[in-house]
Amino acid sequence: MPERENATLVFLARNSDLKGVLTSMKDLERQFNHKYLYPWVFLNDEEFTNEFKGRVMLETDAQVYFGLIPKEHWVQPAWIDERKAEESRERLMKQKVIYGGSTSYRNMCRFNSGYFFQHPLLQPFKYYWRVEPDVKYFCELSYDPFQYMIRNNHSYGFTIALYEIPETITTLWDSVKEFISKYPQYIANDNAMEFLSSDGGETYNLCHFWSNFEIADLDFWRSEAYQAFFQFLDAKGGFYYERWGDAPVHSIAAALFLPKHKLHFFQDVGYQHASYQHCPSSDESTGNTCSCHRWNSIDTKKKQSCLPQYKAMLSDKDARPISPVNG
């Protein structure tokens, strides 16, 4: 058994997600984890049933932990104006925005933005790999991605970059700009603003990393910069008055508070969630076998993928100062 890093596989799920949970686990165990036996941490806002726990434990030889999320990290806070929240749900439902009418989805997005890394079961760990129900891992992984993150001094790894639904984040970027002008000390010098904006930060291009897959450093979310950012955003109420997702929130933070070389595109990881997938091209693959077709990969669809923005950002050596928000 190779040595393990201080890392865990994190899975937020409902009891009703069991079937999709097992599908995802089978793939990840087969492609990677059977060689390493990284522990799994399952989190839920309700108690996991004995059936759920029993079935999950049959899928792995690794340690499995099951945790309950404290109510105060999950439910809509009492200071949220429920009338405004309800207006948002009705508005987004009318606009046919996915999960537009759902409060529990908003709870989930806020939990993933501000609280998962605070859960007691995650305290011992520094790195995590986020897993969701019904995802696929197409390629055999021949190395330890956690070790890779550590050796290369990376903090945030992704496989898919795409555009956010504008209706869900109407005022998010205004809040981000306000935060930047209030706390310029948190913005990294060599940041990835160009991934987020083509006009130096004036407007948001909706690009973000798809957070259903993340291999990242928990200490980044626990950092002073991110804590200040989450508190600032949370106080705006946008998780409920709009439908801010944890994906844009995580992505904007990683792009602005980290120097760009701390981001990592796991190009050799074949991955599918819902209708999008990343299937490595022959250049991207590290010689591993993948059971997917390149032509299905989101990266071949220019209108959907934000990978071009990511690559352009990386190749630009001169980080431009963030403009004109310091007015």
Which residues form the interface with ligand GDP (CB under 6 A)?
Answer: 12-14, 17, 44-45, 104-105, 108, 132-133, 212
Q: How many CA atoms lie within 13 A of 264 on its CB side?
A: 21
Q: Beta 7-12 vs 40-44: how paired, if at all?
A: parallel
Closest by CA to 60, choosing from 32, 96, 81, is: 32
User: What residue 104 binds from ligand GDP, Mn ion, none (CB within 5 to 8 A, per partner kind)?
Assistant: ligand GDP
Please give the radius of gyration of the chain, using alpha carbons only, rounded to the nearest integer: 19
Question: Per CB under 5 A, does 59 bind Mn ion?
Answer: no
Residue whose beta carbon is closest to Mn ion? 132
Applying the rule CB under 5 A, the residues between 203 and 262 that interact with Mn ion are 212
Query: C-beta of 192: minimal distance to Mn ion in Å?
Result: 24
Residue with Cβ nearer ligand GDP (17 or 299): 17
> What is the rounded distance in angstroms from the CA atom of residue 46 to the CA atom of residue 69?
7
Q: Which of 137, 109, 108 is nearest to 26 (CA)?
A: 137
Q: Closest Cα to residue 246, out of 109, 130, 104?
A: 109
Among 220, 150, 235, 237, residue whose Cα is nearest residue 186: 220
Measured CA to CA, the distance from residue 245 to residue 166 in angstroms comes to 11
Binder of residue 53, out of ligand GDP, Mn ion, none (CB less than 5 to 8 A by kind): none
Smallest separation (angstroms) from Mn ion to the CB of 99 = 10
Give CA separation, 178 vs 80, 184, 284, in Å: 21, 10, 38
Query: Smallest distance from the beta carbon of 299 to Mn ion, in angstroms?
Result: 20
CA distance 125 to 4: 12
Whichever of 24 and 175 has its CB closer to Mn ion, that residue is 24
Q: Which does 44 bind (CB under 5 to 8 A by kind): Mn ion, ligand GDP, none?
A: ligand GDP
Among residues 59, 194, 214, 284, the one annotated as catalytic is 214
Q: Which residues between 103 and 132 bind Mn ion (CB under 5 A)?
A: 132
Distance of closest approach, residue 153 Cβ to ligand GDP, in angstroms: 29
Residue 26 binds which one of Mn ion, ligand GDP, none, with CB within 5 to 8 A depending on kind?
Answer: none
Which of Mn ion, ligand GDP, none does 297 bind, CB closer than 5 to 8 A by kind? none
Q: Is 214 a catalytic residue?
A: yes
SS3 176: helix
Binding-site ranges for Mn ion (CB under 5 A): 132, 212
**Active site amino acids:** 214
